[in-house]
């Protein structure tokens, strides 16, 4: 379809984008962009009527002619909240006032070009609505003047309706990422910042606004997320007028966006999500959007064994070969050698930066292990932490100036390491060429790329460089994949410290958390998968006694938990019993036969009446099958647990439901519920009556498998 260009001389300009049950009505009549509506379609209401509905009159305490602050929220129009754009030309040029110059409109996208003649700035906004109903907002600011313009912030904002009275975002720490916090959408500004130079363990991924009655299955949700892995801001503000809005943008470090005459700054893309089907509706929309990318992993996600919690730094060819044999025997499809294979890396004190195979540990190189793994029918993966360097390394001794730093001082160490300055072309080339050499020599299938510390004094030749560092790692990942077609990359940052919508465009998998305790994993996985599809989230069966908490869990609890993601194992299988190995064989077989459903269906988080339990599952889009987990986290209030519902199936169809066990879960009962051995029942009954779980010990789980019979 040809572009439709609308000039600034036309008085009435309203652009409506509508797809997949989402509608944006962008009003340009006043000469700047305001949002008349973002949410469910309004059945073709006339713009004049919509403006009238939004008109709240004029209170005595306001401007004589109050105006909608619009997407730019400019103080020059009388807005007293946080503006979208903050910057200056020294002591002047601090208060922008943009006007629309022209508009290019399509059915599913529009580009609005604005100018501020007094400040000599140009701003281009592009808003596109994806086939899945996700709004993607891009902005580029250009300095048209003859002096430098200092940009402090450029965020994208969208208003939310008054009925959005609560916010939802996520906090966390190492071993405990993505913990939900739901709060009143109170007057004032709620600001979630990431200042780590990476998204961080406390990163929220999206900032949500929702109605008070919103659950996982029903109600309305509006959310903004940032396609960026560096410093970030997610904001929710309710103004003194009572109106609420969400914002997101890059956290620009001082001096990072000094725009010389003719220079431009392009902000990271903001993704905006709307759902009228609760939080699961938001997740379904986000998953569909991410799955639609040409780069999204399309091959079945292989059962992965990572050796970190099996051997740590104790690398030995014989031990690892025997571990590979046992792994292949239980159905593992990818074997990953973790930290400790290179340079002087016998512990975490030395060797980072020297990406050459250690002759001390591997006198014959990695070849013998790689060949053994491949002979067993498995892919081979390898660990790197290419953005980091130990002071005790050949690289640092040769090039101590290659680190991110403020001139004249060395940043404090974290995990005995510093951060390489990838904006330095020589440092970037060193990492790229050394890593590529190892990958190409051994035809590595997969790399686990770690990032074990946050950035401190992130300077490049004295200038703040978080933005350039972030762009460099994107560029490096893309180049590695170009040089080695088929290479897959896992983003790890001490677990879930760099999981964001930006890295999702460059990596194939995230290590969800260093926490492999199955109980702790319930909330971590539940909320990380709100936006990130489960096939991109590493979910491993950890050791019997968790290395993160000291808890002991049987195979059943760990297996059910690890099933709902890109499944794998993080356990020294040489120490497993034959019964445990047999349980693992059954688990990998179940995973392989159901991963099409697990990685392509609709994720469901059931609102369960008993807070002692967690219920979740995946339902096929054609409603032909489902897999649900009931996890007993603590003891129940009653002697018999509350029934858990299985929503999302065809209410008129008949299904066979039965329990699947990898190991017999511990129970406190004389007789098990009747459905465990198999029962035929309608989808309506499963959704409304539900299934009564067995009376489980705490930290036990049961798996319900549902298949349509008619």
Q: Is the pLDDT of residue 9 over 70?
A: no
Mean pLDDT of 331-351: 98
Mean pLDDT of 61-67: 88
Both structure tokens of 643 = 């029934």
Domains 304-600 and 604-708 share a fold: no
pLDDT of residue 56: 87
Cα dihedral sign, 384-386-389-394:
positive
At 67, the pLDDT band (50, 70, 90 cuts) reads: confident
pLDDT of residue 2: 41
For residues 655 and 323, give the distance between their C-alpha atoms in angstroms, rounded to a whole number.
41
Which whole-number Å values give the CA distances from 701 to 230, 518, 519, 625, 636, in the listed order? 38, 10, 10, 20, 13
Sequential DSSP letters for 237-254 = EE-TTS-EEEEEEE-PPT
Sequential DSSP letters for 207-273 = EEEE-TT--SSSB-EEEEEES-SSSEEEEEEE-TTS-EEEEEEE-PPTTTTEE-TT-EEEPPPEEEE
Spacing of C-alpha 132 from chain mean position: 18
Question: CA torsion angle for 466, 469, 475, 479 (degrees, to 10)?
Answer: -160
List strands edge to edge, sheet with 22-27. 14-19, 22-27, 34-39
- Using CB atoms within 10 Å of the CB of residue 457, give its burial: 0 to 12 exposed, 13 to 18 middle, 19+ buried: middle
pLDDT of residue 621: 98
Both structure tokens of 99 = 């006007």
Q: Is the pLDDT of residue 12 over 70?
A: no
Q: List the catalytic residues.
A: 450, 514
Runs of H (alpha helix) within 514-577: 518-528, 555-563
Mean pLDDT of 669-679: 95
The answer to whether the predicted template modeling score (pTM) of the entire model surpasses 0.85 is yes
Both structure tokens of 336 = 């990953």
Q: Which residues contact 642 (CB under 8 A, 6 or more apart)?
A: 608, 609, 610, 613, 636
Cβ atoms of 63 and 298 within 8 Å: the answer is no
Mean pLDDT of 520-533: 98
Q: Is the pLDDT of residue 6 over 80?
A: no
CATH code of 4-291, in short, is: 2.70.98.60
Which whole-number Å values give the CA distances from 206 to 169, 282, 633, in the listed order? 7, 11, 27
Residue ranges of domains in the chain: 4-291, 304-600, 604-708
pLDDT tens profile 275-321: 999 999 999 999 999 999 999 999 999 999 999 999 999 999 999 99
Share of the chain above pLDDT 90, in %: 95
pLDDT of residue 461: 94
So what's the architecture of 604-708 in CATH?
Answer: Sandwich (2.60)
pLDDT of residue 603: 98
pLDDT tens profile 383-426: 999 999 999 999 999 999 999 999 999 999 999 999 999 999 99
Sequential DSSP letters for 127-143 = EEE-TTS-EEEEEEEEE
Which residue reads 């431009």 in tokens? Answer: 264
Q: Is the pLDDT of residue 76 over 60?
A: yes
Cβ atoms of 457 and 411 within 8 Å: the answer is yes
Mean pLDDT of 528-535: 98
DSSP 8-state class, residue 366: S
Mean pLDDT of 520-540: 98
Q: Angle at Cα 518 formed by Cα 516 and Cα 524, nearest 5°?
A: 75
For residues 348 and 339, give the distance between their C-alpha atoms in angstroms, rounded to a whole number.
9
For residues 23 and 257, give the distance between their C-alpha atoms in angstroms, rounded to a whole number.
33
Q: Which of 154, 95, 145 is nearest to 120 (CA)?
A: 145
- Using CB atoms within 10 Å of the CB of residue 668, give its burial: 0 to 12 exposed, 13 to 18 middle, 19+ buried: exposed
pLDDT tens profile 216-269: 999 999 999 999 999 999 999 999 999 999 999 999 999 999 999 999 999 999
pLDDT of residue 264: 98
At 130, the pLDDT band (50, 70, 90 cuts) reads: very high
Q: Angle at Cα 234 formed by Cα 168 and Cα 158, nearest 5°?
A: 85
Cβ count within 10 A of residue 705:
19
Mean pLDDT of 510-536: 98
pLDDT of residue 637: 87
pLDDT tens profile 87-101: 999 999 999 999 999
pLDDT of residue 550: 98
Q: Looking at the DSSP assignment, which residues form a beta bridge with residue 23?
A: 18, 39
For residues 571 and 516, give the distance between their C-alpha atoms in angstroms, rounded to a whole number.
10
pLDDT of residue 1: 36
Q: Which of 372, 505, 503, 366 is nearest to 439 (CA)?
A: 366
Q: Is the pLDDT of residue 604 over 80?
A: yes
Mean confidence (pLDDT) of the chain: 96
Third-level CATH fold of 304-600: TIM Barrel (3.20.20)
Cβ atoms of 617 and 606 within 8 Å: the answer is yes
Which residue reads 């001490």 in tokens? Answer: 494
pLDDT of residue 437: 98
Mean pLDDT of 314-331: 98
For residues 515 and 372, give the distance between their C-alpha atoms in angstroms, rounded to a whole number.
30
């Amino acid at each position: 379809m040809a572009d439709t260009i609308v000039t600034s001389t036309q008085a009435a300009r309203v652009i409506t984008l509508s797809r997949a049950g989402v509608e944006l009505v962008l009003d340009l009549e006043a000469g700047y962009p305001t949002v008349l509506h973002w949410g469910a379609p309004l059945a073709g209401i006339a713009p004049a009527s919509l403006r009238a509905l939004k008109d709240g009159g004029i209170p005595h305490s306001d401007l004589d002619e109050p105006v909608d602050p619009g997407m730019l929220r400019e103080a020059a129009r009388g807005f007293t909240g946080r503006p979208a754009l903050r910057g200056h030309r020294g002591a002047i040029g601090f208060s922008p006032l943009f006007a629309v110059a022209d508009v290019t409109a399509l059915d599913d996208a529009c580009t609005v070009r604005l100018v501020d003649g007094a400040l000599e700035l140009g701003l281009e906004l592009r808003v596109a609505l994806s086939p899945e109903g996700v709004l993607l907002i891009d902005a580029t600011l250009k300095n048209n003047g003859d002096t430098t313009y200092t940009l402090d912030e450029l965020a994208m904002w969208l208003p939310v309706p008054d009925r959005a009275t609560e916010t939802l975002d996520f906090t966390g720490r190492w071993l405990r990422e993505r913990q939900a916090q739901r709060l009143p959408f109170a007057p004032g500004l709620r600001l979630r910042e990431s200042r780590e130079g990476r998204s961080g363990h406390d990163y929220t991924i999206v900032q949500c606004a929702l109605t008070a009655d919103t659950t996982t299955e029903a109600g309305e949700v509006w959310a903004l997320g940032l396609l960026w892995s560096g410093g970030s801001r997610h904001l929710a503000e309710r103004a003194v007028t009572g109106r609420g809005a969400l914002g997101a943008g890059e956290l620009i470090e001082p001096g990072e966006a000094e725009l010389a005459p003719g220079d431009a700054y392009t902000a990271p893309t903001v993704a905006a999500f709307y759902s009228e089907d609760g939080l699961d509706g938001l997740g379904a929309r986000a998953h569909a959007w991410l799955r639609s990318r040409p780069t999204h992993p399309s091959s079945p996600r292989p059962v992965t064994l990572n050796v970190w919690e099996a051997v740590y730094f104790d690398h030995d060819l014989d031990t690892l070969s025997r571990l590979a044999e046992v792994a292949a025997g239980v159905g593992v499809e990818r074997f990953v050698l973790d930290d400790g294979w290179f340079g002087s890396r016998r512990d975490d004190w030395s060797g980072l930066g020297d990406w050459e195979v250690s002759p001390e540990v591997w006198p014959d190189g990695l070849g013998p292990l790689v060949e053994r793994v491949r002979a067993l029918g498995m892919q081979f993966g390898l660990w790197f932490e290419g953005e980091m360097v130990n002071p005790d390394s050949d690289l640092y001794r040769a090039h101590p100036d290659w680190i991110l730093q403020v001139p004249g001082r060395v940043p404090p160490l974290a995990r005995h390491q510093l951060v390489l300055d990838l904006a330095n072309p020589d440092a970037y080339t060193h990492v790229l060429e050394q890593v590529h050499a190892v990958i190409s020599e051994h035809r590595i299938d997969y790399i686990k790329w770690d990032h074990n510390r946050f950035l401190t004094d992130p300077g490049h030749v004295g200038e703040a460089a978080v933005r350039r560092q972030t762009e460099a790692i994107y560029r490096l990942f893309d180049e590695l994949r170009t040089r080695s077609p088929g290479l897959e990359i896992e983003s790890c940052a001490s677990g879930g410290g760099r999981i964001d919508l930006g890295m999702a465009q460059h990596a194939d998998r995230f290590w969800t958390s260093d926490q492999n305790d199955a109980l702790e994993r319930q909330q971590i996985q539940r909320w990380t998968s709100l936006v990130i599809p489960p096939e991109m989230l590493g979910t491993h069966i950890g050791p019997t006694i968790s290395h993160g908490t000291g808890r002991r869990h049987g195979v059943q609890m760990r297996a059910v938990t690890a099933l709902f993601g890109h499944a794998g194992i993080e356990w020294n299988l040489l120490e497993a019993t034959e019964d445990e190995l047999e349980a693992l064989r059954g688990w990998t077989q179940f995973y392989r036969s159901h991963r099409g459903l697990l990685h392509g269906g609709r994720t469901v988080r059931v609102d369960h009446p008993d807070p002692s339990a967690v219920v979740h599952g995946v339902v096929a889009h054609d409603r032909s099958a489902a897999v649900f987990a009931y996890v007993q986290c603590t003891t129940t209030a009653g002697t018999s647990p509350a029934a858990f519902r299985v929503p999302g199936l065809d209410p008129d169809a008949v299904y066979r439901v039965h329990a699947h066990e990898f190991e017999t879960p511990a129970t406190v009962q004389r007789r098990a519920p009747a459905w465990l051995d198999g029962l035929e029942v309608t989808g309506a009954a499963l959704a409304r009556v539900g299934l009564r779980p067995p009376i489980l010990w705490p930290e036990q789980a049961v798996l319900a498998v549902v298949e349509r019979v008619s």
